[in-house]
């Protein structure tokens, strides 16, 4: 079984922030979590590709993309992580 994409501290913190506080921009996430913007951007890309978060489209020019959590996918990833760690729990 492959480990969950959420088994990474940075990605987990980003998802937790989005679940707890709602949609946010990449710069807002970087500032709130005291992370480098490049690190956040890389993590957001991985989470987006995995379908865990989604970018919200905006019709207003010069408005930064906002990221939000796909709750069903997060729950599925958490279940996968539990199965992965079950032998050690």
Per-residue pLDDT tens digits for 22-81: 999 999 999 999 999 999 999 999 999 988 899 887 666 667 789 998 788 777 877 777
The whole-angstrom separation of Cα 37 and Cα 26 is 7
The whole-angstrom separation of Cα 39 and Cα 68 is 17
The owner of tokens 């989005």 is 18
- 3 or 17, higher pLDDT: 17
Q: For residue 1, what pLDDT is reported?
A: 42
Q: For residue 73, what pLDDT is reported?
A: 77
Q: pTM to 2 decimals? A: 0.77
Those residues whose C-beta lies under 8 Å from the C-beta of residue 67, and which sit 6 or more positions away, are 18, 23, 24, 25, 26, 29, 44, 47, 48, 53, 54, 55, 56
Domains along the sequence of the chain with CATH: 9-88 (1.10.10.10)
């Amino acid at each position: 079984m492959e480990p969950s994409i959420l088994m990474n501290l940075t990605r987990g913190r980003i998802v937790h922030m989005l679940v707890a506080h709602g949609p946010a921009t990449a710069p807002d996430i970087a500032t709130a979590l005291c992370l480098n913007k490049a690190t956040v951007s890389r993590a957001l890309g991985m989470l987006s590709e995995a379908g865990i978060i989604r970018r919200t489209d905006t019709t207003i020019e010069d408005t930064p993309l906002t990221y939000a959590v796909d709750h069903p996918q997060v729950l599925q990833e958490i279940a996968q992580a539990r199965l992965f760690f079950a032998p050690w729990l």
